[in-house]
Amino acid sequence: MRAAKVETGIRREQIAQAALGLIAGQGLKGLSVAAVANQVGLVPSAIYRHFQGKDQVLNAVLDLISMRLQENVAAVRAETQDPLERIHRLLLRHIQLVQVYQAIPRVLFSDEVYSGHPERKAKLYGIIRGYLQKIEEMVKEGQRQGRIRPEVAPETVAVMFLGMVAPSAFLWHLSDGGFNITRNTERAWKVFRAAIQEPPTTMKKKKRVKK
């Protein structure tokens, strides 16, 4: 029974990944049960064993995106204790995720995904808000450690973080990969870090006061 559940979970993820690939190449208009089945190498009836139709497949796509975003958060938390470096690494992982799953910007920022589906709109909002809250937590940790300016609002910093990703991803997509998204992201990070980082001189003064 457990093996069957694992196999079902893997198959559902494969279907969601195939759907993301179709959206990347053809947009939401190219997404259909038959097209997904063809991508996975199954007959359409096999897709219906896991999903009732296109709408459920699209919901699975949102679940997959949410899972990948949260996996990135967990990964950077395990890699370093420095809150600023965690945010930096999360940014790079986010860009890599967009490069692997090129449909993510289309899914996250297109009203086609949720038009006529208020429940999906709420689901998408919850995914983005959940991700932003994780970034806010990192900012607050940085403030407690004296690494990030205490006067900046964590919520604002988190939204600014996404602001470094979306335009670059859009330009990269429009240029068919010609826009150097990695180089631009690193440059944007330097400006972003300078805006939120506690100046070294201030950090030294605070340490002296504590002594």
- Token duo for residue 96: 């890599």
The band of 107, judged by pLDDT with boundaries at 50, 70 and 90, is confident
The band of 189, judged by pLDDT with boundaries at 50, 70 and 90, is very high
For the four alpha carbons of 200, 203, 204 and 205, in that order, the dihedral sign comes to: positive
Give domain limits for the chain. Answer: 53-201
* Closest-CA residue to 95 (of 22, 197, 21, 186): 186
- Higher per-residue confidence, 49 vs 191: 191
- Higher per-residue confidence, 206 vs 42: 42
Span of 66-75, 145-154, 195-204 with lowest mean pLDDT: 195-204
Report pLDDT for 3: 40
Contact 135, 64 (CB under 8 A): no
The band of 9, judged by pLDDT with boundaries at 50, 70 and 90, is confident
User: Average pLDDT over the chain, rounded to whole?
Assistant: 89
Report pLDDT for 116: 84
pLDDT higher than 80, residue 7: no
Task: Note the pLDDT tens digit of each residue in 41-93.
Answer: 989 998 998 999 899 999 999 999 999 999 999 999 999 999 999 999 999 99
- Token duo for residue 48: 């219906």
Q: Please say whether the structural domain 53-201 has been given the CATH code 1.10.357.10.
A: yes
Q: 102-107: which pairs have CB atoms within 8 A and are 24 or more residues apart?
A: 102/24, 102/173, 103/20, 103/21, 103/22, 103/23, 103/24, 103/61, 104/20, 104/65, 104/169, 105/166, 105/169, 105/170, 105/173, 106/23, 106/24, 106/27, 106/28, 107/20, 107/23, 107/61, 107/62, 107/65
Task: Note the pLDDT tens digit of each residue in 151-163.
Answer: 999 999 999 999 9
